[in-house]
Structure 1
Amino acid sequence: MSNFVISCGGTGGHLAPGIAIAEALMEKGHHCRLIISNKDVDSRLVKNYPQLQYARSPGVGFAWSPAKFVKFNIEQVRGLLFTINLMREFKADAVIGFGGFLTVGAVFAAFFTGVPVMLHEANRRAGRAIRMLAGFARRIYLPPGVTIKGLPRKMIHHCGYPIRKEIHRMPQDEARAKLGLDVTGKLLLVMGGSQGATALNKWVSRNFEALAKESISVYCVSGLNKMSVDVIERKSADGQTVRAVFTPFVDDMAAALSAADLVVARAGAGSIAEFARCRLPSILVPFPHSADDHQLANAQFLEQQGGAVVIEEKEMDRLLGEVTDTIFNDWLIKRFRENLERLDRANPVDNIVKDMASIALTTHD
């Protein structure tokens, strides 16, 4: 059996697939150590997985302002030294990085210690870290149809997004009960990814009265440090009480996705993969400042596959009408779910784990 270091901290979109891969590797008898950041989102997510081993690395996100740029470089050096020591103590046989600011240190640490590197890119446009580090990798896992210019074909394995095993569709009534939601009509889920989205939170606050008149309840995952837990009550057109629940974080994502009839969300690759797994139709509002506009590319791909509607943030005045038109259109919702089921037929976890194990064996030769 082999020892794997998994660099996956910084955002839920990096950490969640790292957890999925770690669980699958451990089921096969391998040993894993996950490198995570000191951010609140990492701490909140990993507390649900006490069976996994974590190491918190120094590191901060990249920024161009002089002070933050200096801090970024200092933290990268600290992270590199930290990861070299970790890999030597853990006797790592292979490293996989899921992008983000921690992956740079992990890849260079692997290079200096002679350990093979694998990289996973979830988005339809490869991120800066993955592009920069591609030349150090033995294998790069990319979404189907995505390429990185100049890479030999043998380096690339096309696959989807590794989803944690507890993310699956459950009966809607059961899911609503798990979340403590008393909903008689439709339920709209609003979420901005692991960081939250201020624009989406504000949209709910401004438009909830109109949604309530249509008997549309809202469950809004506002993001850590964005808003506190809150409940707003309004009356529907027939006098029923309708609620909007704001929560900074949801521990049971499968329940949240299964409880809803429709989701309004950002377009991170992880969120989209989980929508497909739970057959949840979406209206995607890509974050307009995402690197290389990768969220727009993610959203447009899902729309082209018939699983979502895309509305850019500059067009959010259309969002209320799109929500009400979609959530009550049973024929359209059914078609969305059928297309999402088609997209979710291939589970990449087993293929990735098998390939990782074969690469790790080369260190024992």
Structure 2
Amino acid sequence: MRIAIAAGGTAGHINPALALAEELRDRGHEVTFFGRPSKLEGTLVPQAGFSLVDVEVTGFDRSRPWTALTSLYRVWAAKRDLERRFKQEGAPDAAIGFGAYVEVPLLGWCKENHVPHLIHEQNSVPGLANKMMAPAASRVCISVPAARSVFEREGDPDHVVLTGNPVRRSVIAGDRARGRAALGVPDDATLLLVFGGSLGARTLNEGMAALKGRLLSIDGLRVVQSTGKGGYDEAASALSLTDAEAARWDLRPYIDNMGDVLAAADLVLSRAGASSIAEIAALGVPSVLVPYPFATADHQTTNARYLTDAGAAVLFKDDEVKEPAFGDALVGLLEDSSRRAAMRAAAKGLGQDSAAAALADQVESSARG
């Protein structure tokens, strides 16, 4: 079948879409992406071996209502271009949008031309584009149960399906032994992985600096800390690691091979973005989560509860990182392998590593009518 995918803007939208595309391609389907070549998808999509069709749209600023006119005109123009393209090459058998505004012309065209289409929501608090396109979608696929109430409609219990948030195979294929070898971490060491997303998290960096002495007093502990590109110098200065300490504390701006590094970890300290939650759950790593406090509608806290409610994670508010209870909890988990094992089993029980297959099943079902 021919499947159209609209995803763009951020890695949080694009990577789950690529995970689905990989699954669909392996099942023998032809996948084409629709997005903005000038945005992140213009790099990630071709790198993954998929074609990208340019869709020129812009969102609008709610504080400046008049920008909606330009936005609506560009959606209309993009739909007109899609009409020409599909007349020449044939319409897709199904389409799916991942929440960015770039999905609006594609899914709008599908609605007008009776082509089955779906949406996938990565976060616990849905974005505007998905809320706009949900009523006409044949399926609304969600990553966490908390998003269900936004999309449910009376008399149609099958409209919303919990599939999980797809994770790319390069992450799911992460290997503990390979990761530890790359990091230079012994098999018998306890490894704490700290990261705050692609931009880092100052609160986590400051919290780790405050706990440095206590953490390094734990026999056999190793730390890998990703500071974010903008926070590296400040974190390095705050930690002031000696050569001996640096042998146990790997400080870096970012992590390339996240699958192997996650697989190598015994405990993760992280923010609670949708992609981070999905990857942590897919690899079954126990976690301590500190949601970003200024996320829209505090959705990172709701994301985090997906793991905490399952017994796979511990949650602390951003302003609690400076409190003694945070350090006690982190150290306690590092010293309690049996509790970490129970949390790992709880995370694996969520089945997050099969989310791409579950979402592909829904795409195929919708396409077949």
TM class by shorter chain equals 0.7 to 0.9
Question: 1:196–1:224: 8 Å Cα contact kept in structure 2?
Answer: yes
Judge which range, 132-141 or 73-82, deviates more.
73-82
Partner secondary structure for residue 321 of structure 1: helix
Q: 2:81 aligns with which of 77, 85, 95?
A: 85
1:270 match: 275
**Residue 189 to residue 56, structure 1, CA distance change in 2 (3 Å):** farther
Look up the match of 2:134.
Answer: 134
Distance (Å, rounded) in 2 between the aligned partners of 1:103 and 1:228: 38
Question: Counterpart of 2:335?
Answer: 328
Segment of structure 1 superposing worse, 20-29 or 78-87: 78-87
Deviations 1:239-268 (A, max 9, x none): 7843232223x3322112112221111222
Which residues in structure 2 correspond to 1:28-67 (within 5 Å)? 28-37=27-36, 42=41, 45-46=44-45, 48-49=47-48, 51-55=49-53, 57-59=55-57, 63-66=61-64
Q: CA RMSD in A?
A: 3.4
Shift of 1:310: 0.4
**Pair 347,202 (structure 1): closer, same or farther in 2 beyond 3 Å:** same
Residues 1:243 and 2:239 are matched in the alignment: no
- Give CA-to-partner distance per residue, 1:114-161, whole Å, 9 cap, x none: 433201123334333322321121211134643324353232223222
Asked whether the equivalents of residues 164 and 352 of structure 2 are also in contact (C-alpha less than 8 Å), the reply is no
Q: Partners in 2 of 1:108 and 1:129 — Cα distance?
A: 11
**Secondary structure in structure 2 of the residue aligned to 1:305:** coil
Q: How does 1:194-205 map to 2 (within 5 A)?
A: 194-205=198-209
Structure 1 residues 37 and 298: alpha-carbon distance in aligned structure 2, compared to 1, 3 A threshold: same
Partner residue of 1:173? 177
| Shift in alpha-carbon separation, 1:202–1:24, aligned structure 2, 3 A | same
Per-residue deviation, residues 42-81 of structure 1 (Å, max 9, x unmatched): 46644651x2222454456665444xx6667645643663
What is the DSSP-based 3-state SS (H/G/I as helix, E as strand, rest coil) of the residue aligned with 2:141? strand
Shift of residue 188 of structure 1?
Answer: 2.0
Q: Structure 1 residues 123, 228: CA separation in 2 closer, same or farther (over 3 Å shift)?
A: same
Distance in 1 between the 2:66 and 2:250 partners? 43
Q: Among 176, 187, 196, which residue is 1:192 paired with?
A: 196
Q: Name the CA distance, whole Å, in 2 between partners of 1:107 and 1:81.
A: 14
Shift in CA distance, 128/299, structure 1 to aligned 2, threshold 3 Å: same
Unaligned runs of 5+ in 2: none
Could you tell me which amino acid in structure 1 is paired with residue 201 of structure 2?
A
Are residues 338 and 11 of structure 1, via their aligned partners in 2, closer, same or farther at CA, if it must alter by over 3 Å?
A: same
Structure 2 distance, partners of 1:44, 1:251, is 16
The structural deviation recorded for 1:271 is 1.9
Equivalent residue for 2:119?
A: 119
Work out whether residues 13 and 269 of structure 1, in 8 Å CA contact, stay in contact via their aligned partners in 2.
yes
Partner deviation per Cα, 1:9-41 (whole Å, 9 max, x = no partner): 222222121111111111222211223456775
SS in structure 1 of the partner of residue 34 of structure 2: strand
2:340 counterpart letter in structure 1 = I
Please tell me whether the aligned partners of residues 286 and 313 of structure 1 are also in contact (alpha carbons under 8 angstroms): yes
Deviation for aligned residue 1:194: 4.1
One-letter code aligned to 1:92:
P
In the TM superposition, residue 322 of structure 1 has moved relative to its aligned partner by 2.4
Paired residue for 2:290, among 285, 297, 305?
285
Inter-CA distance 189–346: structure 2 relative to 1 (3 Å threshold): closer
1:154 aligns with 2:158: yes
- In structure 2, distance between residues paired with 1:103 and 1:134: 11
Deviation at 1:206, TM superposition (A): 4.9
Aligned to 1:353: 360
Q: What runs of 5+ residues in structure 1 fail to find an aligned partner?
A: none
Q: Do the aligned partners of 1:84 and 1:113 also contact (CA within 8 Å) in 2?
A: no
- The CA distance in 1 between the partners of 2:207 and 2:40, in whole Å, is 23
- Over residues 214-239 of structure 1, what are the superposed CA-to-partner deviations in whole Å (9 max), with x where a residue is unaligned? 46443333446665799776359x97
- Give the partner amino acid of 1:23: E
Paired with 1:105 and 1:201, the residues of 2 have a C-alpha distance of 41
Give the Å deviation of 1:328. Answer: 1.7
Q: Distance in 1 between matches of 2:203 and 2:61?
A: 22
Relative to structure 1, the CA distance from residue 29 to residue 117 in structure 2 (aligned partners, 3 Å threshold; closer, same or farther) is same
Alpha-carbon distance in structure 2 between the residues aligned to 1:61 and 1:204: 38
Give, in whole Å, the separation in 2 of the partners of 1:303 and 1:347: 20
- Equivalent residue for 1:212? 216
> Aligned letter for 2:216?
A
Q: Which moved more, 1:206-215 or 1:313-322?
A: 206-215
CA displacement at 1:304 relative to structure 2: 1.5
Contact persistence 2:176–2:261 (CA under 8 A):
no
